[in-house]
Amino acid sequence: MASSHDDTRRLFGLRRRAERRHTAVRVLVGLLALAVVGAGGWLVAFSSVLAVDTVKVTGTDQLTPAEVEAVAAVPLGTPLARLDLQAIETRVRTLTQVEQVEASRSWPGTVTLRVVERTAVAWIDVDGQVRGIDRFGVDFRAFDEVPPLTEIRVDTDDPRDRQQSLEGLGAVVATLRSSAPDLLRGIAYGEAQTQDSLTFQLADGRSVRWGSAEDTERKIQVLTALIGSVDAAEYDVSAPEQPTTRA
């Protein structure tokens, strides 16, 4: 009986020691895991091992990569994970030629700036200089000579009316370029004094009252049908549901 009792006590003791060893191992593994995570977090967020050492710029034509890098002011040596990409994008957008920009991280140490530059859809004479206008009405570049684009004219001294007129004309011309290039080729120039007084002069002397830039697709459909069926000196599609003509 004594021997059996001793065996039970030894077995119980072995089990308790085994449980303590298992507990110690689990604690040790947990501590090691925390240490690894901590070291990894430090490596990513604070170490110079994964810091910015290269800036790559793509999509430029009017600008040079160096010009974009200078304005982006990416802080070299900063851990990649702690970089404020939004702030970088905001700085690059201050360049007039830039329509869109996306900044991204490329491990271990590269920041890539994907730039979309503005595209001129029309031109305007500004104090004797030929200026390019994009689809948003932004005056963003100069041309050495008149480009093969639609001329636009804005006759107002009011800065707000001028910008809104440029926005309207730029939007309509951009849509014509993509949806009705044949119709656009027949336009000599577009003009406006306000955002609601867009007018287009055709190369053959006829004119089109366009109104605002709203319902442009519908106005294109109506005007195309009118020009093909009615011989008139003036077409008015400012209200496309009730177009009119004047002989």
Which of residues 117, 138, 155 is at a domain's end?
117
pLDDT at residue 19 in the model: 61
For the segment 20-36, the average pLDDT, to the nearest whole number, is 50
Residue 50: pLDDT band with limits 50, 70, 90: confident
Same domain membership, residue 178 and residue 81: no
User: What share of the chain in percent tops pLDDT 70?
Assistant: 80
Q: What is the pLDDT of residue 200?
A: 98
**Mean pLDDT over residues 165-187, rounded?**
97
- Residue finishing a domain among 72, 87, 117: 117
Please report the DSSP string for 134-180 in residue order: -TT--EEEEESS--SSEEEEE--S-HHHHHHHHHHHHHHHHHHHHH-
Q: State the average pLDDT over residues 70-83.
A: 95
- Please give the residue that has the higher pLDDT: either 18 or 42: 18
Find the farthest-apart pair of alpha carbons in the chain and give their distance in angstroms, rounded.
127
Indicate whether 92 and 179 sit together in one domain. Answer: no
Q: Are residues 37 and 72 in the same domain?
A: no
The answer to whether the Cα torsion of 202, 207, 213, 217 is positive or negative is: negative
Residue 232: which residues within 8 A CB-CB, separation 6 or more? 206, 226, 245, 246, 247
Instruction: Tell me, yes or no, whether 206 and 236 share the same domain.
Output: yes
Q: Residues 208-213: contacts with CB within 8 Å, 24+ apart?
A: 208/234, 208/235, 208/236, 208/237, 209/234, 209/235, 209/236, 209/237, 209/238, 210/172, 210/237, 210/238, 211/237, 211/238, 211/239, 212/168, 212/238, 213/167, 213/168, 213/169, 213/171, 213/172
Q: What is the CATH number of the domain that holds 57?
A: 3.10.20.310
Same domain for 61 and 39, yes or no, is no
Domain total in the chain: 3
Are 10 and 87 in the same domain? no
Same-domain pairing of 173 and 142: yes
| Average pLDDT across the chain, whole number | 88
| 108 close to 43: Cβ distance less than 8 angstroms | no
Q: What are phi and psi of 115, to 5 degrees?
A: -105, 135
Same domain, 65 and 130: no
Query: Last residue of a domain, which of 117, 132, 163?
Result: 117
- Asked if the model's pLDDT at residue 1 lies above 90, the reply is no
> Which range marks the domain in which residue 5 is found?
1-45
Write out pLDDT tens, residues 106-138. 999 999 999 999 999 999 999 999 999 999 999
Answer whether 0.75 is exceeded by the pTM. yes
- Here the tokens at position 107 are 């491990």
20 plus 60 within the same structural domain: no
Q: Supply the CATH number for residue 166's domain.
A: 3.40.50
Do 68 and 179 lie in one domain? The reply is no
pLDDT of residue 21: 60
